[in-house]
Structure 1
Amino acid sequence: MLKLLSFITVFILLLLSSADAKLKTNELSTSEVQDWAEITTARLVACYYDNSTGLFTNELKWQSGSTLETLANFISLADSPQRYIFSETFKKTDPFIGGNCFDDYLWWALAWIQIYKVDPHIEYLQRAALIHDFVSDRAWTTTTCNGGLQVCPTNTYKNAITNELFLLSSMRLHPYTKLLEKPPTYYLEWALKEWKWFEKSGMINSEYLINEGLRSCVNDNRTTWTHNQGVILSGLALLYSATHNSTLIDIAQKIADAAIRHLTYPNGILKEACEPKCDTNHRSFKGIFARHLGYLIPYLTDAAHIQKYTLFLRLNSVSSWTTSRCEMDGLFNIFWDSQLPDACDAPRDTATTSSVLDLFIPTAKTSQTIKKQQNGCEDLCRQTADEDKGAVAYDYQISCTGYGFCRIRTLSSESHTPPGFEYQDDVARRVTTTNKVTIASCYVKII
């Protein structure tokens, strides 16, 4: 055992030195982000997976299910002997290990479906189907709000995440109806029924952000957690794939755009509403958003959105790796843009680290290189101007150093500054005039 631990330690140190060396370049390659994912996976499994229980330590049981899905995604990126934990976990857990509520069970259902894709043992798929049947039989009720899933057996609250998870699990099981001896459209019909109810429920607000749930069958206007903006993305993507209803992709893009616009710091880094004082549940949420944004990208055809989401993932990955990793234990803290002198001073655990791994994996899958793509950057500049209601003109230039310079002349106030841009008042070099109103204020960003 000591020899094994020594080997793992040396392996992690070698990967760390390799990754840190690459950071000195101006490019972010697929292999580089994959190195970060490999380092993080090795640390999680070697140090925080409990072989006796089949769960991860320092996180809640539902989060262990979510972390298993993350590891299945890593295996799909780079095969690893760490896949052994799938069979270990299956043997040492029951279908309802996640907790006491229906959403707790569904995180595990999603994990077993993803695990089946990389380790195709039918018992994994059957367990996911068992959980789905249990939830559909007991959670869907029409006695309140004319449908939808309630959150717990003893709590009739209709919340967003339980219904999003059910939509997604239905669509993930849809291709396996024959294997699971179900009618061909069994799971698809559940997904369509769920989405029809969800879309009309009012949980998607006027900004295309999803609030926490319903009170008296109307939007409760509670926190727009990042994971609620995430799970829905892949559910809609899979439903689009089955129905070819392009409206579903349009809605998914609007939700993703709203999250990136409203749930980020000014520099474009994703934030949770509770930061810096998030409880254990909340510490997984940002990674879940990143994971499902990554699931959405392959279904998109709009180049501007593909690039926008890819750059968002890259930006957050680089920031997390360079500012949030505690050198002492290899864990990532809750901030993806840590401003602390020492990243070890912020709260960190298995959940926050798994969350960052959720970010690295889709970044590695979507990144070929982070070299500046001049036409794409100009598209991003134009798109940002289009989204600003006060914009009257924009210009995009390439500097001598190769960096893009985006300037948007605007009537909007500083409070509407897009993520990653800087507001400059009365300093525009060449004044723009529209309707005889002089515009000398602008948003500026180096791309």
Structure 2
Amino acid sequence: MFRLFSLSLFLIVIRIVNSDSINESLNWAEVTGTRLVSCYYHNLTGLMLNEEKWQSGNTLESLANLISIIDSPLKYIFNRTFIRTDKSTGGNCYDDHQWWLLAWIQIYQVDPNVKYLHRAKDIYDTITKEAWSKNQCSGGLRWCPTRTYKNAITNELFLSSSMRLHPYTSILGKSSNYYLDWAIKEWNWFENSGMIKNYYLINDGLTSQDKSSLKNFISSNDNKCINNNGTTWTYNQGVILSGLALLYNATNNITLLNIAQNIADATIERLIYSNGILKEECEPNNCDNDQKLFKGIFIRHLGYLIPFIKDSSYKNKFISFIQNNTISILTKSRCEIDGLFGLLWNNNSSSSCQSVRNTATTSGALDLFTTLVKTKQSTTIITSSKFILFGLGNCIDEKNSSMPNFYSNRVNETICYLTAMNDKSAIAFDYQLNCNGNQFCRIRTLSDKHQTPPGFNYQDGIARNVTHTNKIPLTNCYIRRNNL
């Protein structure tokens, strides 16, 4: 009796350990990044389809962030994009170019070819030469070459860019404090500009004090600027976080870290739905294409901040916020028709496919998945589904063998899932969704041919379990929870 009890206890422990070994968020990050590149990356232009040029730079950083935690053949796009673009690819304004600047720095960290750093340096040099101006608002970067407007995002990006380049001064032929000095200069101006207003939230930008009725108007020689009370976009609360964290790390000025922490806390307390899910002010129906990925930017830079936070209560609060948003977007915002994630992370529609979605909104989902992986100390299963995402590719065993299976190319993912659920002997299922919308469902089962469900065919196999996946793009392997 004692030996039987011990064996049962051992089996239970083994299942718990195996279950914990699956990092569902990591798997979703890989699946999402692979779909973005496979279906929406344009090999001839080096840009993402259905995105603004600056957004392609942002998505490139998101992909490099993914590559920092997982070995993936997606890395090929970095050199391809470098060849297909130049330092002016981002767009017409100085904020546009800096999204690419940050992307090249992140790419260098996962693919250390110095050409990426030099591309970032070239963009930075152009900005310092052209964009900084004391003629309006006593300093700061103006938004565009033809605009005098001083806004938050352009200057936040410059702070972050300066600090991200700071470790590479010797490689880039700069004096040891060159980028740090620019960062300090930028922050001193930004902190006193008035853009950080009530509750530590950052408004869109500045306007002339004597022309405050003209929201974004700044005359050519006007040093009397005030907060324009513009929208507190989520990305304005995000980019500043990484810049302040790195500036704190370089100067040991704890005030910088406290300010960053307060901005992050204000955002997750105030720019949310009633259930704590992040919300853009323009939601649900008034967001333009630019605004569709703002939330992902906030999450990514919140993730950059978290390792520097010393207060465990705040750190745990921020990680919990990221996890809750990840669960919400995964359960409410993914459309099975195209595999894309929608704008609304708190989607209450009866169908997740009714939400506005494109590569930009899906890039935001990638930021969520990747950031959760990087900030949590242990692996985790984040959904309560009976089948959880086991990995990218077909479900196979340790000998690369396939199980007996029922298969069909005439069912959607929901039907595939429900059919697997109803088959008590189903171990796993894999579902392929090609870029053109073609679908294929394969249920890995120990049932025999006579139990083939209607609309499915039977295929024999020699494997009796599923231990890993073969990483075939655009195919997801889901494994039954009680078989872990």
Map residues 397-412 of structure 1 onto 2, 5 A cutoff: none
TM-score (norm 2): 0.70
Instruction: Write the distance in 2 (CA, Å) between the matches of 1:312 and 1:269.
Output: 8
Structure 1 residue 337, shift from structure 2 partner: 1.5
- Of 143, 149, 153, the match for 1:151: 143
Flag the structure with higher helix content: 1
- Of 207, 212, 229, the match for 2:199: 207
CA contact (8 A) 2:24 2:381 kept: no
Counterpart residue number, 1:417: none
1:321 aligns to 2:330 (yes or no):
yes
What are the superposed Cα offsets for residues 52-111 of structure 1, whole Å, 9 maximum, x if unpaired?
100000110000000000000000010101000000000001111110000000000000
3-state SS, counterpart of residue 200 of structure 2: coil
3-state SS, counterpart of residue 77 of structure 1: coil
Structure 1 residue 30, shift from structure 2 partner: 6.8
3-state SS, counterpart of residue 235 of structure 1: helix
Gaps of 5+ in 1: 1-26, 373-447
- Of 228, 231, 243, the match for 1:235: 243
Map residues 7-406 of structure 1 onto 2, 5 A cutoff: 31-216=23-208, 217-276=225-284, 277-367=286-376, 368=378
| 337-346 vs 289-298, which moves further | 337-346
Q: Output the amino acid matched with 2:198.
A: S
CA contact (8 A) 1:30 1:364 kept: no
Aligned CA-pair RMSD:
1.5
CA contact (8 A) 1:170 1:187 kept: yes
What are the superposed Cα offsets for residues 367-396 of structure 1, whole Å, 9 maximum, x if unpaired?
225699xxxxxxxxxxxxxxxxxxxxxxxx
Structure 1 residue 206, shift from structure 2 partner: 2.1
Structure 1 residue 262, shift from structure 2 partner: 0.7
3-state SS, counterpart of residue 180 of structure 1: coil
3-state SS, counterpart of residue 341 of structure 2: coil
What are the superposed Cα offsets for residues 155-206 of structure 1, whole Å, 9 maximum, x if unpaired?
0100000000000000000000000000000000000000000000000002
CA contact (8 A) 1:103 1:151 kept: yes
Gaps of 5+ in 2: 1-18, 209-224, 383-484
3-state SS, counterpart of residue 133 of structure 1: helix
CA contact (8 A) 1:109 1:169 kept: yes
Structure 1 residue 152, shift from structure 2 partner: 0.2
Instruction: Write the distance in 1 (CA, Å) between the matches of 2:97 and 2:369.
Output: 25
Number of equivalences: 347
Q: Output the amino acid matched with 1:85.
A: I
Instruction: Write the distance in 2 (CA, Å) between the matches of 1:371 and 1:51.
Output: 35
CA contact (8 A) 1:178 1:184 kept: yes
What are the superposed Cα offsets for residues 261-282 of structure 1, whole Å, 9 maximum, x if unpaired?
1100011100000001211000
CA contact (8 A) 1:233 1:292 kept: yes
CA contact (8 A) 2:373 2:379 kept: no
3-state SS, counterpart of residue 23 of structure 2: helix
Instruction: Write the distance in 1 (CA, Å) between the matches of 2:22 and 2:259.
Output: 29
CA contact (8 A) 1:205 1:211 kept: yes
Instruction: Write the distance in 1 (CA, Å) between the matches of 2:58 and 2:105.
Output: 12
3-state SS, counterpart of residue 71 of structure 2: coil
Q: Output the amino acid matched with 1:363.
A: L
Instruction: Write the distance in 2 (CA, Å) between the matches of 1:189 and 1:145.
Output: 20
Structure 1 residue 366, shift from structure 2 partner: 1.7
What are the superposed Cα offsets for residues 284-342 of structure 1, whole Å, 9 maximum, x if unpaired?
10000000000000001110011000000000001101110000100001000111111
Q: Output the amino acid matched with 2:206.
A: L
Structure 1 residue 220, shift from structure 2 partner: 0.3
Instruction: Write the distance in 2 (CA, Å) between the matches of 1:353 and 1:265.
Output: 20
Q: Output the amino acid matched with 1:230.
A: G
3-state SS, counterpart of residue 296 of structure 1: helix
Instruction: Write the distance in 2 (CA, Å) between the matches of 1:314 and 1:132.
Output: 34
CA contact (8 A) 1:48 1:350 kept: yes
Q: Output the amino acid matched with 1:155.
A: R
Q: Output the amino acid matched with 1:223.
A: T
Instruction: Write the distance in 2 (CA, Å) between the matches of 1:288 and 1:295.
Output: 11
